[in-house]
Structure 1
């Protein structure tokens, strides 16, 4: 069983079901960096209606959807991928999932078809917490901590991650996962 104090890089944060913040309502956030100075993560289940090659004019053509990573610095693009052995400077977040790396090399690898849409996910902006902020939010019950599974990022339907992760936790979490989004739908 995961405890609130087990917050670490590579875990996911699941918004409590009645969180009102529209940025995080019923979302799953992969923590990519967690330390004494704060935390950084990306919302896994909020696709935008655009592709990365439409967003960045000089980007090679790739059928890769862009996701809303969070409300911080929405003028930046980030990426999670499976090709840490090919993308110099990338950082392993959890088993088989890497963050960032050399952007020019990434574009070359995509042009060469060495990175396919199934290997990468792009994000506009990120989710960030200052020192102590995430711990405080955990204490108030804003987040449910869970294990990250590769398929949440590269196998699940993009808008079902929150529900799937709660169901995987079992017991009362599985019941929460199936609660209607609005009480009037009960």
Structure 2
């Protein structure tokens, strides 16, 4: 994994919050960028659990005991998902090799019911993280975020939410390994 030299991230890259970021919505967060264009940016926080299970939100998925994550503070009445593997649903947008965002929700439900999709390779989110035109660029200039260019889907699905931020920084190497060990509250060090 490497830090991007680009000013703004592309779809399929990660934003990792700087260790000093105190915004309660984004402390130690890892955000998957799903869309970034002249109108703004859209992403999903990968490591912030909600108190909900998908079976509580979607009646047709009553049989799934999967956690739902808080994708961000915007429109928390919306449901989003990402999955890994081969493209399994029409309308899915590829974010990287073996990583997909969204798609036909009815087909998703049916494939999960039939056991055609591994529920360990899917993550659901309520809400999302959004930036208006130029807003993310400003935050990057303020050094609020670190861009990670290359992601491995297994990092998203196999790391615990608590460890994801630290592990991605460690894998980026160099100065980022040092940041990975930065205490949440340096006064307690």
Deviation at 1:180, TM superposition (A): 1.1
What is the 5 A alignment of 1:44-83?
44-82=46-84
Deviations 1:66-117 (A, max 9, x none): 1010001000000001255321111101111101111111111111011122
Cα distance change, pair 126–84 in 1 and its aligned pair in 2 (3 A): farther
Taking structure 2 as the reference length, the TM-score comes to 0.93
Partner residue of 1:98? 100
Partner residue of 2:22? 20
Deviations 1:44-80 (A, max 9, x none): 1111232101222232411321101000100000000
Deviation at 1:165, TM superposition (A): 1.1
Question: CA–CA distance in 1 between the matches of 2:113 and 2:28?
Answer: 35
Extract unaligned runs of 5+ from structure 2: none
Residues 29 and 42, structure 1, Cα contact 8 Å, conserved in 2: yes
Taking structure 1 as the reference length, the TM-score comes to 0.94
Residues 47 and 159, structure 1, Cα contact 8 Å, conserved in 2: no
Residues 8 and 137, structure 2, Cα contact 8 Å, conserved in 1: no
Question: CA–CA distance in 2 between the matches of 1:151 and 1:159?
Answer: 15
Deviations 1:17-65 (A, max 9, x none): 1111100011100101111111111001111232101222232411321
Residues 8 and 136, structure 2, Cα contact 8 Å, conserved in 1: no
Partner residue of 1:42? 44
Extract unaligned runs of 5+ from structure 1: none
Partner residue of 1:164? 167
Partner residue of 2:118? 116
Cα RMSD of the aligned pairs, angstroms, is 1.4
SS in 2 for 1:42: strand
User: How many residues are paired up?
Assistant: 186
Cα distance change, pair 21–71 in 1 and its aligned pair in 2 (3 A): same
Cα distance change, pair 37–6 in 1 and its aligned pair in 2 (3 A): closer
Question: CA–CA distance in 2 between the matches of 1:65 and 1:38?
Answer: 28
Partner residue of 2:143? 141
